[in-house]
Amino acid sequence: MTDNLSYLEENDPAVFTALKGEEQRQKSGIELIPSENYTFPEVLATLGSVFTNKYSEGYPGRRYYGGQEFTDQIETLARERAKVVFNCEHANVQPLSGSAMNQAVYLGLLEPGDTVMAMDLSHGGHLTHGAPVSHMGKLFNFVRYVTDPSDGSIDFNQVRKDALASKPKMILCGYTSYPRDVDYAAFKAIADEVGALTMTDASHFGGLVAGGSMRNPIDFGFDVVTTTTHKSLRGPRGGLILCTKKLASKIDKSVFPGLQGGPHMNAVAAIAVTLLKAQTDEFKQYAHQVLSNAKTLATALIENQTALVTGGTDNHMMVLNTVESFGLDGRMAEEVLDKVNITTNKQIIPDDPNPPLRPSGIRIGTPAATTRGMVDADMQQLAQWIVTCLQNPEDEALLGQTRDEVTAFCERFPVPGL
């Protein structure tokens, strides 16, 4: 790796400079975007390995190119480790991203025009859960359920009524900005009553399921669970589709040749590495600390009169209503915190009256901070910095002092692999 970086420095100093700048940004700032994390050093090594060079269309033992002895080994390892970690009957480790994995499920198990019930985008769902601007939202008929913004609860009587009326072929739960846990039993009961498949998109909390700190939808009889392999799982960019044996063939054919060609074998190797790490006691401790940190941070923010969507969190993330709390839209709040090396993302809130690029909130989470070794006491400090800066967005002296404090604070918590 070091030699390769020296080649890069010599032959493309512009890219090398940007790379080193990003390294420094990650070292000197606090990453609070809940979908981001610091991957394992072993994953970084694998991503930059010779597996990058190999094309491997097909599946182990059934490839279209020769020279697959070692790619078959790593993909088999990744699949078997996924089955152990998530207690599932079948795993496909080839999807190139979270969006691709969800698309593969829809296209493999449904027909265009079929009805899918999923969470409304502004209430916490993802673009691939049927947002009208997405291709999946145009191919399938999505019926959306909503939450009570005050506490995040879902009216399952209404969900049942809507399901009985619309007869969905699939009921999907999971989220991208929902700070509560999911009542899998309630969703499963409704799906069984109407004869629908059940799917969970666990992209955000897959690592917490793997680490035993959040419940596993598979244990409730769900047909399909998808998860990205980065975020809380701390692996490479990629996706996993976990399903029953009954659906295995349809899922595999949908991924390849249905949706994509050759998998990125360097990422598949990195997924195998990640799933071995996820079986360790150290990872389980990490997953539990992520949740503890999130609850501590949420409590500290609430104690400082910050309005949180749903009033708190049951998982690794929270959504701050910055308009109500500080008179700032989410874009403004994100930019203020960027100035002090605290990275967040602007976020719509339920039924947000503001447009997506200037929404009413920001989304924050604790996976990356926990990876660096931050614990509950550190969350108290984070909350104080966030509140003080958002209360004084134009006080450049205060923001400059806070930036220095954050930078010094971060020196105590090394970034893995850097």
Indicate which residues carry an active-site annotation. 55, 57, 201, 228, 231, 237
Number of separate helices (H) and strands (E) present in the chain = 17, 14
Nearest C-alpha neighbor of 92 from the set 237, 252, 222, 200: 252
Residue type, 237: R
Q: Which residues of 254-263 are buried (b: 16+ CB within 10 A; e: fewer)?
A: bbbeebbebb
* Cα–Cα dist 218/243, whole Å: 8
200 φ/ψ angles, rounded to the nearest 5 degrees:
-120, 130
* Cα–Cα dist 46/28, whole Å: 25
* Cα–Cα dist 136/333, whole Å: 32
* Cα–Cα dist 283/306, whole Å: 31
Residue type, 409: F
Q: Residues, the chain, total? A: 418
Peptide bond into 359 cis (omega under 30): no
Question: 3-state class of 62 per DSSP?
Answer: strand
* Cα–Cα dist 181/341, whole Å: 30
With residue 116 as reference, give the H or E element that holds it: strand 115-119
Residue 165: which residues within 8 A CB-CB, separation 6 or more? none
* Cα–Cα dist 56/37, whole Å: 28
